[in-house]
Structure 1
Amino acid sequence: MRIFTEAQVRASFLNASRSERKNIALPADFDELDFGARDYLGWRDPKLPNVSYIVADIDDEPVGLLLRQTDSRARSRPQCSWCADVQLPNDVVFYTTKRAGDAGRRGDTVGTLICENFECSRNVRILPPSAYLGFDREAARDRRIDALRRHVEGFVRDVRGDF
């Protein structure tokens, strides 16, 4: 992921009003973030427990989404739709977001299961166990990283209405 400034991040949100953009609490360590080790930037709002944000690098531009965590929890442990991590080192929750434009203003939303604290970039970079003799663990990790990027981009494009 490319490095973005605070101003770029705030301006990038598709489905947030001007006042919501202004009031976004950026991560406390924003200036020290390692953007190179991330496939997207995701964080929870410290003041609003059910509100989170993601910013993805789409076509060399930051695209941000305001997400809301649903109150209900799954009965069984769900798998993240983005990183598809099977080790489940963290909780996965259902996030919803308003679609961009007129659809969002009419109340149209889309949702997906995501790692609760957005650990996907870290999860996909863990070397998988060797599945068989000669298994290329680095290539498998690279495929997981590419898949994460495709899943995030697909979700953002769906919210944006690019399909």
Structure 2
Amino acid sequence: MQKITAQQIRSSFINASRSEASKLNLPRNFDALDWESLDFLGWRDGKMPLRGYLVLPGPQGPAGIMFRDPEGGPKKNRSVLCELCRDIFSKDDVLLWVAKRAGQSGRNGNTVGTLICADFGCCRNVRVEPPANEINPDPAAVVLRQIGGLAARTAQFLERVQEA
């Protein structure tokens, strides 16, 4: 992902009002992000922990999605798989994140949800090389395949948010 500015992030949201976007809190380490290892920028709001954000690169520039956690945080009695990274080795919590749909549909109260790592650590998860085995003898090829899958599934979710 190419480096983007705070203003580009705030103006990228497809399902948030201008006032909601202006009030969002950037990630704590925003100035020190390793942009080359990110397929998207995702974070939980430090001051509003039930809110999360995902900003994806796109052909017309970045596209942002604002989420909310309707359940109020991790529930320890379940084990679920993140729909974006699909990492089976990660011990990260996975939450149901819900996003308003874009446009009039969202203003009418329509939402779409999916299971995503609680800390939006998917970009990190897909870059962990698995041990070589008979099925996957080249761990680097597995990582490339995982990165491609993450990008495809994230773009599909963005399309779901944009649907009328």
Q: TM-score, normalised by structure 2?
A: 0.93
Residues 142 and 14 from structure 1, CA distance in 2 versus in 1: closer, same or farther, beyond 3 angstroms? same
Query: 2: CA distance between counterparts of 1:120 and 1:59?
Result: 22
Q: 2:32 aligns to what? A: 32
Q: 2:46 aligns to what? A: 46
Q: Which moved more, 1:35-44 or 1:130-139?
A: 130-139
**Structure 1 residue 92 corresponds to structure 2 residue 94:** yes
The runs of at least 4 consecutive aligned structure 1 residues that moved more than 4 Å come to none
Please provide the CA RMSD for this pair: 1.7
Q: Which moved more, 1:65-74 or 1:78-87?
A: 65-74
Q: 2:155 aligns to what? A: 153
- CA deviations 1:109-154 (Å, max 9, x no partner) are 0000000001111110010122317711111110000000101111
**Structure 1 residue 71 corresponds to structure 2 residue 71:** yes
CA contact (8 A) 1:96 1:109 kept: yes
CA contact (8 A) 2:84 2:154 kept: yes
Percent identity between the aligned chains?
Answer: 40
Query: 2: CA distance between counterparts of 1:99 and 1:75?
Result: 29
CA contact (8 A) 1:79 1:88 kept: no
- CA deviations 1:46-92 (Å, max 9, x no partner) are 11121011101122511011100121748420000000000132101
Structure 1: unaligned runs, 5 residues or longer: none
Structure 2: unaligned runs, 5 residues or longer: none
Q: How many residues align?
A: 162
Task: State the Cα distance separating 1:20 from its structure 2 match.
Answer: 0.6
